[in-house]
Amino acid sequence: MENLVSMKDLSVEQITAILEQAKAFREGATSSLKNKYTMSNLFFEPSTRTKMSFEVAERKLGLTVIPFESGFSSTLKGETLYDTVKVLEAIGIDALVVRHEQNNFFEELVGKTKVAIINGGDGTGNHPTQSLLDIFTIWEEFGTVENKTITIVGDIAHSRVAKSNADALSRLGAKVQFVCPPEWQGEFNCVHDFDEVIESSDVVMLLRVQHERHEVSGIFSKEDYHQTYGLTVERERKMKDGAIIMHPAPFNRDVEIASELVECDRSRIFKQMENGVYVRMAITEMILKGRE
Amino acid sequence: MENLVSMKDLSVEQITAILEQAKAFREGATSSLKNKYTMSNLFFEPSTRTKMSFEVAERKLGLTVIPFESGFSSTLKGETLYDTVKVLEAIGIDALVVRHEQNNFFEELVGKTKVAIINGGDGTGNHPTQSLLDIFTIWEEFGTVENKTITIVGDIAHSRVAKSNADALSRLGAKVQFVCPPEWQGEFNCVHDFDEVIESSDVVMLLRVQHERHEVSGIFSKEDYHQTYGLTVERERKMKDGAIIMHPAPFNRDVEIASELVECDRSRIFKQMENGVYVRMAITEMILKGRE
Amino acid sequence: MENLVSMKDLSVEQITAILEQAKAFREGATSSLKNKYTMSNLFFEPSTRTKMSFEVAERKLGLTVIPFESGFSSTLKGETLYDTVKVLEAIGIDALVVRHEQNNFFEELVGKTKVAIINGGDGTGNHPTQSLLDIFTIWEEFGTVENKTITIVGDIAHSRVAKSNADALSRLGAKVQFVCPPEWQGEFNCVHDFDEVIESSDVVMLLRVQHERHEVSGIFSKEDYHQTYGLTVERERKMKDGAIIMHPAPFNRDVEIASELVECDRSRIFKQMENGVYVRMAITEMILKGRE
């Protein structure tokens, strides 16, 4: 694995190897990298958890991390992403995590630079490390992903999480179904009645209503969304024994999820973030090992 | 000590322990922490000296420091401070320094997260690490704080330094008095004539005129303020032998203090900043030791 | 060498020592510093390559690097550069790289602070580390700088690179000539016909058209500039065997240089950036060694 830009590039074997290595890190394994590597995290869109999760993971692997400030860089002088990455290659960066608002930004990079590219989120496209931490969380919870029913709820059309997850979870043998308003259905087959599927779900995976991408209020009030497509206290009571709640976060309290459910027994929301560090360690180590 | 949010929480014994440990660090002691810890500095308001002072202190203690950019984080997506801190707990942060514009921001955090919270300044409320470095500077200068006359001059009502210091210095046996314009008196008893108290002061502690918080020019011109409440060259001459000048900085030259006095023999302004690193090392180490 | 603010301060012997040490680092030498040092990079203007190049160089030397965010510092509260630097001196910073929009900003610092100052670019004045990496690149290419013909093309009057380079290259025995529009000639003797000098040049050093400093479109269209003062594919064909192309970057594709020439065989543009790390290691180590 030289880069990680999309879940589509990963075979079931590679996904399984990442899960196993993430588990090993979780249980205390340390880096087995032989050389010193230098990384940088190029986030052109705001992020707390993905960026800081990578920052922690990189330091746990003993890497040198070079700060990059997108709001204060030469991209302000009109430099293209390609030229910026070639600069970073020249000054000795081995691998980059890149988040960029442009879908498939990585197509202009992969194969044209010696820097390894890890996709930290591209527009409405992919978010493979989020997918892998979601899968890891389900796999750790149930011991397998196979035959589990995963219900993804929310803005399916614009979500990079939904797309990345749908493909991979299906290939791992899970049953994936979508719940969303007709307006946000996109190319996917979706159920529009959340209550119809709540009882049969092993995992209820809520997506964030992205106020900054489009105006939800044009379609719903927050309260309406919560009642129709949110996980209310009433809906949570209908979930089956052992079923869990997931959300990639940041979450909108009382929109996608009732505030009192955020830290309830079924919730794995903060567990997902904890797992994110181990998954990102596994991915980063695997990519850097490919250079040894 | 699990957190440090306000001087009120510290007993005289705890304050003394911090002063002694800061002195030990000043004299070359190194960290006695047994484990590896990860910290982050969450500054939601601009800061050079407090933030960079913590950054230096944390590295001198051998900690891993994870960068946080408040202007580029998920708080822009509406995430609450509580949720941000829970994320950081999940990804493995042990302690946070937080500066936030909201008074008592820490009330929604302490007791609800495993992350240790160090208050780096809350609105017009508290600034305990500044207080402790001020106290350390006086204690080092005179060998004691007891019976020293400390005159705090400036915007008493809006100053988190004045509030934090007033309480602690009094408990340590100092005599604290305030000089300020009637408009900025707040709940405190203040003298309005600086010249009345200048000769009896062991310490003249000037506060910054906070142009960014309220428009001083609506009340005074800078020159008027300097003549009435500033430390002019003439006033400095009236100070007694061995008396010192302090200022938490950043200072406004020729407003709170005559420009030529900033680095004069009596000035401990840059000494305070130097001491800040040792005091912050002591506080941080003490809090992290409580986790071992 | 206590500071590096201008090429003028460096003797030919000092320049040669820097080139030799940069070469040693390039060939794998490691830091020979005996003590631990702490640095910070104060960039008050946007930068990717200079800032990140220093960040990498400092870490390769094993230094502690303290982050500084100019857009979030006390300079926003009106603090002067001098006072900011005195603060950093107090908290234990040994050396600073400073980029500032004010020409000769360093004059208010050098000799007044114990912090070593490395000029990372001052307004339209100096950019000595860029000059040194340019010289290093030529020296490595040809084994010497002597008797080489260096043609610098572009906005000579406003370029800190042109000024820094012109002086130093001449002292090292090179023949330096300038090509520029009459409007951008400033105090320099310039040729206005690029084609007149292209064939005799060993090095064609292109300068960036600084759209953010002044409106080029008021004088030229981008296409006009490219045809008259840019390195077109046709002009490149006229260059002599072994002649090379340089650019301090960020470059504007199809303005200063035809896009397809950026990575052509003659181009040393990314090589310059690679060399920048070694040159900055050499300079920084030399300055810090002066403190041992």
Distances (CA, A) of C215 to C41, C161, C187, C232: 29, 19, 20, 22
pLDDT digits 0-9 by tens, A137-195? 999 999 999 999 999 999 898 887 887 788 899 999 999 999 999 888 888 889 999 99
pLDDT of residue A217: 54
C41 touches chain A (CB under 8 A): no
C43 touches chain A (CB under 8 A): yes
pLDDT of residue B72: 64
Contact A250, A49 (CB under 8 A): yes
| DSSP code, position C240 | P
The answer to the question of whether C21 is labelled as a binding residue is: no
Closest in B38, B84, B92 to A48, CB measured: B84
C-alpha A240: how far from chain center: 25
Question: Which chains pack against C, by 3+ Cβ pairs within 8 A?
Answer: A, B
For residue A49, the chain B residue with the least C-alpha distance is: B87
Q: What is the CA radius of gyration of chain C?
A: 19
| B136 chain-C contacts, CB cut-off 8 A | none
Contact B41, B65 (CB under 8 A): yes
CA distance B49 to B55: 10
C182 touches chain B (CB under 8 A): no
The sign of the CA dihedral C185, C189, C191, C197 is negative
Angle of helix A160-171 versus helix A128-142 axis, rounded to 10 = 50
A146 touches chain C (CB under 8 A): no
For residue C248, the chain A residue with the least C-alpha distance is: A87
Strand residues in chain B grouped as ranges (E): 38-43, 64-66, 95-100, 116-122, 149-153, 175-179, 190-191, 203-206, 244-246
Closest in C71, C72, C83 to B250, CB measured: C83
CA distance B43 to B55: 12
Looking at this predicted complex, what is its ipTM? 0.93
Q: Which residues of chain B have pLDDT under 50?
A: none
Q: How many CB atoms lie within 10 A of CB B67?
A: 16
CA distance C77 to C70: 12
The answer to the question of whether B127 is labelled as a binding residue is: yes
Low-confidence winner among B229-233, C67-71, C201-205 (lowest mean pLDDT): C67-71
Q: Which domains does chain A show, CATH number per domain?
A: 7-126+273-289 (3.40.50.1370), 128-268 (3.40.50.1370)
For residue A278, the chain B residue with the least C-alpha distance is: B91
Contact B240, B199 (CB under 8 A): yes
Contact B96, B117 (CB under 8 A): yes
The reply to whether residue B52 touches residue C64, judged by beta carbons under 8 angstroms, is no
What's the pLDDT band for A45 if we cut at 50, 70, 90?
confident
The reply to whether residue A77 touches residue C274, judged by beta carbons under 8 angstroms, is no
For the ranges A41-50, A76-85, C186-195, C227-236, the one whose mean pLDDT is highest:
C227-236
The DSSP string of chain A is ---B--GGG--HHHHHHHHHHHHHHHTT------S--EEEEEESS--SHHHHHHHHHHHHTT-EEE---GGGSGGGGT--HHHHHHHHHHTT--EEEEEESSTTGGGGTTTT-SSEEEEEEETTS--HHHHHHHHHHHHHHHS--TT-EEEEES-TTT-HHHHHHHHHHHHTT-EEEEE--GGG-TTS-EES-HHHHGGG-SEEEE----TTTS-GGGT--HHHHHHHHSB-HHHHHHSPTT-EEE--S---BTTTB-GGGTTSTTB-HHHHHHHHHHHHHHHHHHHHHTT-
Top residue of A42, A55, A58, A77 to mutate, by most chain C CBs within 10 Å, is A77
| C78 chain-B contacts, CB cut-off 8 A | 211, 250, 252
High-pLDDT (> 70) share of chain A, %? 95
pLDDT digits 0-9 by tens, B68-93? 987 766 666 678 999 999 999 999 99
pLDDT of residue B217: 54
